[in-house]
Amino acid sequence: MLSFSGGSVLVILASPIHNVESTNQPVCSHCVCALTVAHVLLECNCDVVRQRYFNVSSLHELFDTVNAQNILGFIRDIGIYRLL
Q: Return left, alpha or beta for 32; rule: phi > 0 is left, psi -120 to 50 is alpha, else beta.
A: left
Which residue from 30, 52, 60, 76 is in contact with Zn ion, where contact means CB under 5 A? Answer: 30
Which residue of 17, 28, 49, 78 would you call a contact of Zn ion, by CB under 5 A? 28
What part of residues 36-55 is at the interface with Zn ion (CB under 5 A)? 44
Asked if 31 touches Zn ion (CB under 5 A), the answer is yes
What is the DSSP secondary structure assignment for residue 83, as one 8-state letter?
Answer: G
Whole-angstrom distance, CA of residue 46 vs CA of residue 48? 6
Indicate whether 76 belongs to the interface with Zn ion (CB under 5 A): no
Q: Rg (Cα) of the chain, in Å, rounded?
A: 12
Query: Binding residues for Zn ion, per CB under 5 A?
Result: 28, 30-31, 44
